[in-house]
Amino acid sequence: MRKGNVYLLFFILALFCVALWVVWPGTDIFGRKDFTLGLDLRGGSHLVYKIDLAKKDPSQSDTDVIEGVKQKIERRVNAYGVTEPVIQTIRSEDGDFILVQLPGVKDIDEAINLIGKTAELDFREMELDQSGRMVSDEQGMPKWQALATATGSDGKEKELTGKYLKPNAKVVLEPQTNRPEVAFEWNDEGAILFEQITKRNLQKPLGIYLDGVPISWPTVQAVIKEKGVITGLNLQEARTLAIQLNSGSLDVPLELVQNMTVGATLGEDSLKKSLIAGIIGSAMVVVFMIAYYRVSGLVACLALIVYGVLTLSIFKLIPVVLTLPGIAGFIVSVGMGVDGNVLVAERLKEELRAKR
């Protein structure tokens, strides 16, 4: 054997060993111990939203708004930790839609709450009567004025909303009660507005609204400039709100038109049976190749094993989302490899018969 061929053989052997280590069950690769499974194998949530373009800013094009909504949903989903989600825009005669598939997320309400909310944060001042006392509604709850405004750095009156937040909101625990809070920080313009609003509302409640719904109304204890917290949430609500604030509010409302929890197409029992059937089929191919083609058949089988392990290692490293059609394609490629090796072996037999 030539020296170069020996080196090549050792290189292939070393590469095979590394690939085998990568695909071995339990091996941690970039934080992943298993292959990434798609919605049909893993199950999850399937959501379709209709984009209400009638409420968009007239200065923005439909394409820009749709792409902006898609990017913000992607940021929310990625921050939530969903692996390999599918987020697609669909344009049709019936309207514009966003398709969201979240593998592994079985709580449909949790998925809807994360994605569908516009997440427009704003602040409102308490409504007072002529004597300066709080005005209450029929349930005894305080009434709130329109959005709180203040003078910006350019001298113009501006509404204080979530667009002035820095994308670094996070969940913290209140030291005394150990209850979750969402800590946020304003940018320079937001800090100017918030300072004025808290200054004129000292010792008064300040309403914090999300999508037009009050979530808390803490009493302002001191003039606040750059930072603040949102209370009155449980841990899951606080986490979702922090993600939504960091991703930014959606430019237009979304209408949920379809939602379902998708179970795995193949149950665990069916998946095991399919795996056993695949192993039996592969073993039969190996036995046939070795029995009929002898040494060349053995070499062909070893080559196919190396090919299969290398391909699976690439699937895990990238990672490639494994779905039923994808697995079927991989099996077809292995079958084509067997077919190619059969052609080579038959040609080799013809050459030997002809003594070439």
Are 93 and 207 found together in one domain?
no
Q: Which of 262, 287, 317 is the last residue of a domain?
A: 262
| Rounded Cα gap, residues 163 and 217, in angstroms | 20
Q: 142 lies in which domain range?
A: 123-246
In order of 344, 348, 349, the CA distances from 354 in angstroms are 15, 10, 9
What is the C-alpha separation between 185 and 105, in angstroms, rounded?
30
- C-alpha to C-alpha distance for 119 and 233, rounded to whole angstroms: 15
Tell me what pLDDT residue 117 has. 83
Domain-ending residue, one of 189, 211, 246: 246
CATH classification at residue 85: 3.30.70.2040
Residue pLDDT tens, the chain, 356 long:
577 778 888 898 999 999 999 998 888 877 777 888 888 788 888 899 999 998 888 888 888 999 989 999 998 888 887 877 889 999 988 899 999 988 888 788 888 888 888 888 888 888 766 665 667 666 666 677 777 888 988 999 999 898 899 999 999 998 888 899 999 999 999 999 999 999 988 888 888 888 888 888 888 888 988 888 888 888 988 888 899 888 888 888 999 999 988 777 665 666 677 778 878 888 898 898 889 888 888 888 888 889 899 999 998 888 888 888 888 888 888 888 888 888 888 888 788 777 66
Q: What is the pLDDT of residue 228?
A: 87
- Residue 349: the pLDDT is 79
* Total domain count, the chain: 3
Same domain, yes or no: 79 and 142? no
In this structure, are 31 and 43 located in the same domain?
no
Looking at the structure, do residues 93 and 127 belong to the same domain, yes or no? Answer: no
Domain boundary among 217, 246, 275: 246
Please report, for the domain that includes residue 206, its CATH number.
3.30.1360.200
Q: What is the pLDDT of residue 1?
A: 58
3-class secondary structure per residue, the chain: CCHHHHHHHHHHHHHHHHHHHHHCCCCCECCECCCCECHHHHCEEEEEEEECHHHCCCCCCHHHHHHHHHHHHHHHHHHHCCCCCEEEEEEECCEEEEEEEEECCCCHHHHHHHHCCCCCEEEEEECECCCCCECECCCCCECEEEECEEECCCCCEEECEHHHECCCCEEEECCCCCCEEEEEEECHHHHHHHHHHHHHCECCEEEEEECCEEEECCEECCCCCCEEEECCCCHHHHHHHHHHHHHCCCCCCEEEEEEEEECCCCCHHHHHHHHHHHHHHHHHHHHHHHHHHCHHHHHHHHHHHHHHHHHHHHHHHCCCCECHHHHHHHHHHHHHHHHHHHHHHHHHHHHHHCCC
Residues 166 and 228 in one domain: yes
